[in-house]
């Protein structure tokens, strides 16, 4: 299993212009993203910003939280070669993680994005004197027009995305015409 220090090593590899890495697969390496220092995460993200060969990044089940995904999306706005990003089954929430996606999606060059397994925060509950927030295991669209409209607008503003995977068939269906439009453009 890799550690947070491994992010620095991976970042150094990704940043090397003479090493043409096309794919990085960190599936299940939760310790990589378990409280990385600002420097460790920063070096990894800076490498993603400037890389010109990486086409696939798989961070499935890596324990990535909302704040890290926000920084990841910011870094990927600068990367024009990454085509596939897999973020399924992390610790991302609908409330915050999806918001970061909606803000960033129009600026990303991705053709495939996987974000299955988003979580939703339940109402705070009292446990003795302390207040706790329950996180359920997966998110389904609440059907609210606001959530759906914001996602649909973000997808419509992205001319690259041809495949987007969520646990929600409602969101998939409402975004499918834009994905098809992009697929036709890329063929």
Confidence tier at 186 by pLDDT (50, 70, 90):
confident
Mean pLDDT of 19-48: 94
Q: What is the dihedral of CA 165, 167, 173, 176, to 10 degrees?
A: -10
Does residue 61 carry a pLDDT above 60?
yes
What pLDDT shows up at residue 168? 74
Residue 151 pLDDT level (bands cut at 50, 70, 90): confident
Mean pLDDT of 180-184: 88
**What is the average pLDDT across 51-55?**
95
Its pTM stands at 0.86
The predicted pLDDT at position 124 comes to: 55
Q: How would residue 95 be classed by pLDDT, with cut points 50, 70 and 90?
A: confident
What is the DSSP pairing of strand 121-127 with strand 130-135?
antiparallel
* More confident of the two residues 145 and 134: 145
What average pLDDT does the structure give for the chain? 86
The answer to whether residues 89 and 33 touch, using CB atoms and an 8 Å cutoff, is no
| Predicted local distance difference test score (pLDDT) of residue 137 | 46
Say if CB 94 and CB 120 are below 8 A apart: yes
- Across 167-178, average pLDDT: 79
């Amino acid at each position: 299993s890799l550690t947070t220090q491994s992010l620095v090593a991976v970042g150094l590899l990704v940043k090397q212009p003479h090493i043409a890495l096309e794919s990085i697969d960190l599936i299940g390496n939760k310790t990589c993203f378990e409280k990385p220092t600002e420097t460790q995460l920063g070096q990894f993200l800076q490498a993603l910003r400037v890389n010109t060969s990486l086409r696939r990044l798989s961070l499935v089940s890596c324990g990535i939280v909302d704040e890290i995904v926000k920084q990841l999306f910011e870094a990927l706005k600068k990367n024009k070669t990454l085509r596939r990003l897999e973020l399924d089954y992390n610790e991302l929430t609908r409330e915050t993680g999806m918001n970061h996606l909606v803000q960033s999606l129009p600026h990303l060059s991705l053709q495939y994005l996987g974000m299955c397994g988003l979580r939703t925060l339940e109402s705070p509950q009292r446990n003795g004197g302390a207040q706790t927030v329950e996180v359920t295991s997966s998110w389904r669209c609440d059907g609210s027009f606001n959530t759906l409209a914001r996602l649909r607008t973000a997808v419509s503003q992205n001319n690259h995305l041809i495949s987007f995977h969520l646990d929600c068939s409602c969101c998939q269906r409402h975004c499918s015409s834009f994905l098809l439009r992009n697929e036709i453009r890329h063929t």
